[in-house]
Structure 1
């Protein structure tokens, strides 16, 4: 017989699969991978490009390249936030109540 906790566990499982199917599938096979909010490969690449643009702008004394590098660095910094998606949807991250 299903108990009251089973329904809640099924809800949690469905939400996890909906939010990050790759993580849920790996967890089901017993080989968990990092959740989506902790995978930053593209963010590091963007930060590297931003710093290259910023350095080039400084070396050439070109204001537009400096501004573009700073903007890209800001975007990359924002992408490192693990709760970025909740803020966009208007849901408070854990611990901000």
Structure 2
């Protein structure tokens, strides 16, 4: 490879390391992990808790619990938007 190719690869490696260090470490060890965009474990937990609150609020006829569950469900669904998180990370210096 030429010198400019090595520089480009080093730049890509630095950007990858800055963006997702867990993924970059896994690549270095030969056991890559999922990129950050595809890790949704906590998001599913938040969504399931919110939907449980909605169902409980509907079964018990408790309006405040139902409304809180709906709001939490909307917030939890918003966590799945990967483009929003990418935009927020790029704005930070």
By the TM > 0.5 criterion, same fold?
Answer: yes
Q: Could you list the structure 1 runs, at least 4 aligned residues long, displaced by more than 6 angstroms after superposition.
A: none
User: Structure 1 residues 75, 15: CA separation in 2 closer, same or farther (over 3 Å shift)?
Assistant: same
5+ long unaligned stretches in structure 2: none
Give unmatched runs, 5+ long, in structure 1.
92-97
Find the counterpart in structure 2 of residue 95 from structure 1: none
Alignment of 1:48-87 (within 5 A): 48-87=48-87
TM-score computed with the length of structure 2 as normaliser = 0.85
Query: In structure 1, what is the Cα distance between the partners aligned to 2:60 and 2:31?
Result: 48
Looking at secondary structure, tell me which structure has more helix per residue: 2
Across the two proteins, how many residue pairs are aligned to each other? 91
C-alpha distance after superposition, 1:38-78 (max 9, x if no partner): 11110110011001100011112222111111111111111
